Amino acid sequence: MAVTVYTLPACVQCDSTKRMMQRNQIEYDEVDMSQDPVALDMVKTLGYTAAPVVVSGEDHWSGFRMDRIQSLSA
């Protein structure tokens, strides 16, 4: 299943999310919302105002969520 992590520069939670995904060998695409206004609008449409936003299929969440990240590798 494709996983996309929507990030912002200098975002500690974004960096932690990416590190945890790498540690769990979860492949993901990263989209920098500061460089992609369409992605920023999509994230806002989902109801999020903070980064990171992780989208995996129909599932999505905001912030560093170790439990949710680990569930992707199960």
Arch. (CATH architecture) of 3-72: 3-Layer(aba) Sandwich (3.40)
pLDDT of residue 46: 96
- Provide the pairing of β-strand 3-7 with 29-32: parallel
Q: What pLDDT, on a 0 to 100 scale, did the predictor assign at position 73?
A: 82
Domain spans in the chain, listed from the N-terminal domain onward: 3-72
Q: What is the pLDDT of residues 14-57, one digit of tens each?
A: 999 999 999 999 999 999 999 999 999 999 999 999 999 999 99
DSSP string covering the chain: --EEEEE-TT-HHHHHHHHHHHHTT---EEEETTT-HHHHHHHHHTT--SS-EEEETTEEEES--HHHHHHHT-
